[in-house]
Amino acid sequence: MDTFDLKIQKEIKIDEFFKRCSIYHKSQKNALNELTEALRGTLEPNYVRYCRMKYLESRLKDAYKKINILRDIRKDKYPDDDLVIVHAGKNKMFLLNDGVKQIQSTAEKWYKEHQLLVRNDNDKKTEIYSKRIRLVERCKKIPIENLLQSEIIINGDRKKTKCPIHKEDTPSFFIFENNSYHCFGCQAHGSNAIDFVIEWKGLDFNGALDYLRNI
Protein backbone atom coordinates (compact mmCIF):
# COMPACT_ATOMS: atom_id res chain seq x y z
CA MET A 1 0.00 0.00 0.00
CA ASP A 2 1.37 3.38 -0.97
CA THR A 3 0.52 6.81 0.37
CA PHE A 4 1.06 10.29 -0.96
CA ASP A 5 0.38 13.71 0.54
CA LEU A 6 -1.15 16.31 -1.73
CA LYS A 7 0.57 19.18 0.09
CA ILE A 8 3.98 17.61 -0.44
CA GLN A 9 3.28 16.90 -4.09
CA LYS A 10 2.32 20.57 -4.65
CA GLU A 11 0.32 19.74 -7.74
CA ILE A 12 -1.54 22.91 -8.77
CA LYS A 13 -4.52 21.02 -10.17
CA ILE A 14 -4.72 18.77 -7.13
CA ASP A 15 -4.56 21.72 -4.75
CA GLU A 16 -7.41 23.39 -6.60
CA PHE A 17 -9.34 20.16 -6.56
CA PHE A 18 -9.27 19.68 -2.79
CA LYS A 19 -9.64 23.38 -2.11
CA ARG A 20 -12.93 23.22 -3.92
CA CYS A 21 -13.88 20.06 -2.05
CA SER A 22 -13.30 21.62 1.37
CA ILE A 23 -14.37 25.22 0.79
CA TYR A 24 -16.81 25.26 -2.08
CA HIS A 25 -18.82 22.25 -0.91
CA LYS A 26 -19.33 23.64 2.58
CA SER A 27 -19.70 27.40 2.29
CA GLN A 28 -20.61 28.18 -1.31
CA LYS A 29 -23.05 25.31 -1.72
CA ASN A 30 -24.86 26.14 1.52
CA ALA A 31 -24.96 29.83 0.63
CA LEU A 32 -26.35 29.06 -2.80
CA ASN A 33 -29.01 26.75 -1.38
CA GLU A 34 -30.06 29.37 1.16
CA LEU A 35 -30.21 32.05 -1.52
CA THR A 36 -32.23 29.80 -3.81
CA GLU A 37 -34.72 29.01 -1.03
CA ALA A 38 -35.01 32.71 -0.14
CA LEU A 39 -35.71 33.71 -3.71
CA ARG A 40 -37.78 30.70 -4.69
CA GLY A 41 -41.03 32.43 -3.78
CA THR A 42 -40.20 35.65 -5.61
CA LEU A 43 -38.53 34.40 -8.80
CA GLU A 44 -40.29 32.97 -11.79
CA PRO A 45 -40.31 29.13 -11.59
CA ASN A 46 -38.74 28.93 -15.04
CA TYR A 47 -35.85 31.13 -13.91
CA VAL A 48 -35.28 29.08 -10.74
CA ARG A 49 -35.24 25.90 -12.83
CA TYR A 50 -32.82 27.49 -15.31
CA CYS A 51 -30.45 28.52 -12.47
CA ARG A 52 -30.56 25.01 -11.01
CA MET A 53 -29.78 23.49 -14.41
CA LYS A 54 -26.77 25.79 -14.88
CA TYR A 55 -25.60 25.03 -11.33
CA LEU A 56 -25.77 21.27 -11.97
CA GLU A 57 -23.95 21.67 -15.28
CA SER A 58 -21.13 23.46 -13.46
CA ARG A 59 -20.98 20.80 -10.75
CA LEU A 60 -20.93 17.99 -13.32
CA LYS A 61 -18.10 19.68 -15.20
CA ASP A 62 -16.09 19.95 -11.98
CA ALA A 63 -16.88 16.34 -11.03
CA TYR A 64 -15.64 14.96 -14.35
CA LYS A 65 -12.50 17.08 -14.04
CA LYS A 66 -11.83 15.66 -10.56
CA ILE A 67 -12.35 12.11 -11.80
CA ASN A 68 -9.84 12.66 -14.61
CA ILE A 69 -7.29 14.11 -12.18
CA LEU A 70 -7.55 11.14 -9.83
CA ARG A 71 -7.40 8.69 -12.70
CA ASP A 72 -4.30 10.40 -14.07
CA ILE A 73 -2.64 10.13 -10.64
CA ARG A 74 -3.46 6.46 -10.51
CA LYS A 75 -2.30 5.79 -14.06
CA ASP A 76 0.93 7.82 -13.97
CA LYS A 77 2.16 7.24 -10.40
CA TYR A 78 0.52 4.15 -8.99
CA PRO A 79 -0.50 1.85 -11.85
CA ASP A 80 0.20 -1.35 -9.91
CA ASP A 81 -1.05 -0.43 -6.43
CA ASP A 82 -4.59 -1.35 -5.43
CA LEU A 83 -4.52 0.65 -2.19
CA VAL A 84 -3.50 4.29 -2.54
CA ILE A 85 -4.43 6.61 0.31
CA VAL A 86 -5.04 10.27 -0.49
CA HIS A 87 -4.52 12.84 2.26
CA ALA A 88 -6.94 15.69 1.56
CA GLY A 89 -6.51 18.28 4.27
CA LYS A 90 -6.80 18.06 8.02
CA ASN A 91 -8.06 14.70 9.32
CA LYS A 92 -9.34 13.75 5.89
CA MET A 93 -8.15 10.86 3.78
CA PHE A 94 -9.64 8.30 1.44
CA LEU A 95 -8.64 5.51 -0.89
CA LEU A 96 -8.03 6.78 -4.40
CA ASN A 97 -10.33 4.20 -6.01
CA ASP A 98 -13.07 4.94 -3.47
CA GLY A 99 -12.73 8.66 -4.21
CA VAL A 100 -13.31 8.08 -7.90
CA LYS A 101 -16.35 5.86 -7.20
CA GLN A 102 -17.83 8.36 -4.77
CA ILE A 103 -17.48 11.26 -7.19
CA GLN A 104 -18.94 9.12 -9.98
CA SER A 105 -21.91 8.18 -7.80
CA THR A 106 -22.59 11.82 -6.92
CA ALA A 107 -22.17 12.89 -10.54
CA GLU A 108 -24.72 10.29 -11.62
CA LYS A 109 -27.28 11.76 -9.18
CA TRP A 110 -26.61 15.26 -10.50
CA TYR A 111 -26.88 14.03 -14.07
CA LYS A 112 -30.27 12.37 -13.41
CA GLU A 113 -31.59 15.54 -11.75
CA HIS A 114 -30.28 17.64 -14.64
CA GLN A 115 -31.97 15.40 -17.22
CA LEU A 116 -35.23 15.57 -15.27
CA LEU A 117 -35.05 19.37 -15.28
CA VAL A 118 -34.31 19.37 -19.01
CA ARG A 119 -37.35 17.15 -19.67
CA ASN A 120 -39.54 19.35 -17.47
CA ASP A 121 -38.21 22.43 -19.22
CA ASN A 122 -39.04 20.92 -22.62
CA ASP A 123 -42.50 19.95 -21.36
CA LYS A 124 -43.01 23.50 -20.09
CA LYS A 125 -41.95 24.96 -23.43
CA THR A 126 -44.33 22.58 -25.21
CA GLU A 127 -47.15 23.62 -22.88
CA ILE A 128 -46.45 27.32 -23.44
CA TYR A 129 -46.28 26.76 -27.20
CA SER A 130 -49.59 24.87 -27.17
CA LYS A 131 -51.29 27.62 -25.15
CA ARG A 132 -50.03 30.24 -27.58
CA ILE A 133 -51.28 28.26 -30.57
CA ARG A 134 -54.74 27.98 -28.96
CA LEU A 135 -54.73 31.72 -28.21
CA VAL A 136 -53.82 32.57 -31.80
CA GLU A 137 -56.54 30.33 -33.20
CA ARG A 138 -59.14 31.78 -30.83
CA CYS A 139 -58.19 35.38 -31.65
CA LYS A 140 -58.31 34.71 -35.38
CA LYS A 141 -61.93 33.56 -35.10
CA ILE A 142 -63.22 36.58 -33.15
CA PRO A 143 -65.90 38.13 -35.40
CA ILE A 144 -64.50 41.36 -36.80
CA GLU A 145 -67.92 43.05 -36.56
CA ASN A 146 -67.75 42.58 -32.78
CA LEU A 147 -64.74 44.89 -32.73
CA LEU A 148 -66.56 47.74 -34.51
CA GLN A 149 -69.02 50.34 -33.24
CA SER A 150 -70.30 51.41 -36.63
CA GLU A 151 -73.58 50.21 -38.13
CA ILE A 152 -73.35 46.75 -39.73
CA ILE A 153 -75.38 46.11 -42.89
CA ILE A 154 -76.04 42.43 -43.64
CA ASN A 155 -75.91 41.63 -47.33
CA GLY A 156 -76.41 37.90 -47.89
CA ASP A 157 -73.44 36.04 -46.43
CA ARG A 158 -71.46 39.27 -46.22
CA LYS A 159 -71.53 42.18 -43.80
CA LYS A 160 -70.86 45.76 -44.88
CA THR A 161 -69.90 48.84 -42.88
CA LYS A 162 -67.85 52.02 -43.06
CA CYS A 163 -64.15 51.25 -43.08
CA PRO A 164 -62.52 51.92 -39.70
CA ILE A 165 -59.08 52.14 -41.32
CA HIS A 166 -59.82 55.20 -43.48
CA LYS A 167 -62.49 57.90 -43.49
CA GLU A 168 -65.39 57.42 -45.87
CA ASP A 169 -69.04 58.38 -46.23
CA THR A 170 -70.24 55.33 -48.19
CA PRO A 171 -69.66 51.87 -46.63
CA SER A 172 -67.07 49.92 -48.61
CA PHE A 173 -65.69 47.62 -45.91
CA PHE A 174 -66.88 44.02 -46.32
CA ILE A 175 -66.61 41.17 -43.81
CA PHE A 176 -67.04 37.73 -45.33
CA GLU A 177 -68.45 34.50 -43.90
CA ASN A 178 -64.97 33.07 -43.12
CA ASN A 179 -64.11 36.23 -41.14
CA SER A 180 -61.83 37.61 -43.84
CA TYR A 181 -62.31 41.26 -44.86
CA HIS A 182 -61.70 43.63 -47.72
CA CYS A 183 -62.14 47.38 -48.14
CA PHE A 184 -62.87 48.50 -51.69
CA GLY A 185 -61.93 52.05 -50.71
CA CYS A 186 -58.43 51.74 -49.21
CA GLN A 187 -57.77 48.13 -50.37
CA ALA A 188 -57.17 46.92 -46.80
CA HIS A 189 -57.38 43.15 -46.83
CA GLY A 190 -56.86 40.28 -44.40
CA SER A 191 -57.86 36.75 -43.48
CA ASN A 192 -58.88 37.06 -39.83
CA ALA A 193 -59.32 39.31 -36.80
CA ILE A 194 -55.58 39.42 -36.04
CA ASP A 195 -54.81 40.76 -39.52
CA PHE A 196 -57.57 43.32 -39.07
CA VAL A 197 -56.30 44.61 -35.71
CA ILE A 198 -52.74 44.86 -37.08
CA GLU A 199 -53.98 47.14 -39.90
CA TRP A 200 -56.59 48.97 -37.84
CA LYS A 201 -54.51 49.75 -34.73
CA GLY A 202 -51.06 49.72 -36.34
CA LEU A 203 -49.83 46.98 -33.98
CA ASP A 204 -47.44 44.11 -34.53
CA PHE A 205 -48.55 40.49 -34.21
CA ASN A 206 -47.91 40.23 -30.44
CA GLY A 207 -49.59 43.58 -29.86
CA ALA A 208 -52.66 42.40 -31.76
CA LEU A 209 -52.78 39.23 -29.61
CA ASP A 210 -52.63 41.31 -26.44
CA TYR A 211 -55.45 43.49 -27.75
CA LEU A 212 -57.66 40.52 -28.59
CA ARG A 213 -56.86 38.09 -25.77
CA ASN A 214 -59.48 39.48 -23.35
CA ILE A 215 -62.25 39.94 -25.90
pLDDT in tens, the chain (215 residues): 444 343 333 343 445 545 555 555 555 566 666 655 655 555 556 666 777 888 888 888 888 888 887 778 777 777 666 666 666 556 666 677 777 787 888 888 888 888 888 887 777 667 777 888 889 999 999 999 999 988 999 988 899 999 999 999 999 999 999 999 999 999 999 999 999 999 999 999 989 999 998 88
User: Residue 182's beta-bridge partner residues?
Assistant: 174, 189
- Domains of the chain by range and CATH? 2-118 (no CATH), 144-212 (3.90.580.10)
**Cα separation, 59 vs 103, whole angstroms:** 11
- What DSSP element (H or E) covers 47? helix 45-77
pLDDT at site 164: 93
Structural contact between residues 173 and 166, judged by C-beta atoms closer than 8 angstroms? no
Structural contact between residues 167 and 186, judged by C-beta atoms closer than 8 angstroms? no
Q: What pTM does this model have? A: 0.47
